[in-house]
Amino acid sequence: MSLLDGGPDEVLIYPEVESTDADGNPIRVPALVPVAVRGRVQPVTSEDVIAAGQQTTTRYRFITRDAPLGAWALVTWDGRDWDLEGEPLWSRGSKRTRHVTAILRARGRS
């Protein structure tokens, strides 16, 4: 079995869905019910932004065979909530090599 199909990390993905705001406008928001997906989570970078006053941006790369990812999806992993940084990258190769990669950016702790 490939790491793409059964990787060591499990994330909960709240897929993006269309909703309506208070003014009746269509908006995209994370769904209320998550989908569990296995894959590989790898560190990308941790950037210290001194000018912003001791703020750290933590980013990870999530690679899996297939997942309901979109720019407005919410990911929960390792006890924290993560946003997608941009759109997921879909590699549409053969059945053995196709996969999706998403960059996760940590949400601030409250």
Digit-coded pLDDT (tens) for 57-91: 788 999 999 999 998 999 999 999 999 988 999 99
pTM higher than the cut 0.75: yes
- Residue at token pair 């790491």: 3
From CA 62, how far away is CA 46, in angstroms rounded? 15
Amino acid in the structure at residue 38: R
Q: Identify the structural domains of the chain with CATH numbers, from first to last.
A: 3-106 (2.40.10.270)
Confidence at residue 110, expressed as pLDDT on a 0 to 100 scale: 43
- Residue 85 tokens read as 């940084």
